Amino acid sequence: MSDSSSIVVDGQPGETQEQQQQQDSNVLRTSKQTWSTVSDQETVLAKLRTKCHSPEELASDKYLIPKFKAYIHTWFNSECVHCRNMKEGITKTHPNEIPSSALRDFRESPRRRPDDPQRRAAVALDCEMVGVGDGKENELVQLCAVDFLTGEVLISKYILPTREVVDWRTAYSGVDKDLLEEKKAEGQTLDGWREARKELWKYIDEDTVLVGHSLNNDLGALKTIHHRVVDSAILTRKAVSSDANGSWRLRYLCRKLLGKMIQNDASGHDCLEDTFAAREVILFCLLHPERLGDWAKTARPRYINLELNKCHVA
């Protein structure tokens, strides 16, 4: 990433060095926002682990989880999570028969290695994707990963697509051909999704809790199967209603829960900002359950009135 996205340390005008140091110890900074530090990391990690979603929950949210059932929702024609057949009628489940071709490039996260000093207990991540093939297929073009507990930026890299890009999705990805060539010249790129996955795997194993917003899309782009996940989209949806099938966009959650405005740049999303934003929403859910409950009460009527189903609320 460019300097505008990296964490910086600065104080307010007129502050003494001691005041600046005190402030710096309480917040993490990016160019656009400040983010929380975690003082009691052991307690926060314990809380986070209790929020990991079940395999059934992940499979129903389009995570690739072999050996679990795929869910078919019914209020309108709905595509099965895994077999991609269109169904209608009452809610059903059926065995998760994932074609071998779909699993060809997917790999489970690395086995446990608790003594590895690079391995982290929890990692927040976000990816940006471009369109390949018919334009609807995703290809990884940017990866950011942050230590959930310390806020340390582990990865902030652009990815050279392995297939021809037919849709740069610049309004969302923030990336176009010229920018990618510039980042390549600066040595800020990785060669394809395999190298990106390899880079991520330096920091995670099967016990690492992965944190993000609608992380199924990011793990799909990384061709990674992971079972220990806390997804801010699922977490906030469950707070509103146990049978809700929609989700709230990260931008909306940041505005309503945190009072922060993100994704306001006309040039596209800031991948690192989105990584920190998902981390911040989940910290809010862990540390302020009463406030989360208050928001959920106000959001519930809107969910019912809009018949949210599978839509995203912006």
DSSP one-letter string for the chain: --GGGS------TT--HHHHHHHHTTEEE-SS-EEE--S-HHHHHHHHHHTPPPHHHHHHTT---TTS-EEE--SS-EE-TTT--EE-SS-EEE-----TTTTTT-EEPPPP-TT-TT--SEEEEEEEEEEETTTTEEEEEEEEEEETTT--EEEEEEE--SS-EEE--HHHH---HHHHHHHHHTT-EESHHHHHHHHHHTT--TTSEEEESSHHHHHHHTTEE-S-EEEHHHHHHHHH-TT---EE-HHHHIIIII----S--TT---HHHHHHHHHHHHHHHHH-HHHHHHHHHHHHHHHHHHT-TTPEE-
> 261-267, long-range: CB within 8 Å, 24+ apart, which pairs?
262/32, 262/33, 265/174, 267/170, 267/174
In this structure, the answer to whether residues 124 and 266 fall within a common structural domain is yes
Any idea what the CATH number is for the domain that residue 49 is in?
A: 3.30.420.10
In this structure, the answer to whether residues 83 and 171 fall within a common structural domain is no
pTM for the predicted model, two decimal places:
0.81
In this structure, the answer to whether residues 209 and 267 fall within a common structural domain is yes
Positions in the chain short of pLDDT 50: 1-25, 70-95, 307-311
In this structure, the answer to whether residues 113 and 73 fall within a common structural domain is no
Buried-state track 213-233, b at ≥16 Cβ within 10 A, e below 16: bbbbbbbbbbbbbbbbbbbbb
Q: Structurally, how many domains does the chain consist of?
A: 2
In this structure, the answer to whether residues 214 and 73 fall within a common structural domain is no
In this structure, the answer to whether residues 85 and 122 fall within a common structural domain is no
In this structure, the answer to whether residues 181 and 199 fall within a common structural domain is yes
Domain boundary among 102, 124, 156: 102
The pLDDT score that the predictor gives to residue 130 is 95
Burial of 254 (0-12, 13-18, 19+ CB in 10 A): buried
The pLDDT score that the predictor gives to residue 76 is 37
Domain region containing 92: 67-102
- CA atoms lying within 13 Å on the CB side of residue 113: 13
In this structure, the answer to whether residues 31 and 108 fall within a common structural domain is yes
In this structure, the answer to whether residues 73 and 32 fall within a common structural domain is no
In this structure, the answer to whether residues 220 and 85 fall within a common structural domain is no
In this structure, the answer to whether residues 140 and 264 fall within a common structural domain is yes
The pLDDT score that the predictor gives to residue 78 is 43
The pLDDT score that the predictor gives to residue 36 is 93
The pLDDT score that the predictor gives to residue 107 is 93
The pLDDT score that the predictor gives to residue 242 is 80
The pLDDT score that the predictor gives to residue 300 is 85
In this structure, the answer to whether residues 55 and 77 fall within a common structural domain is no
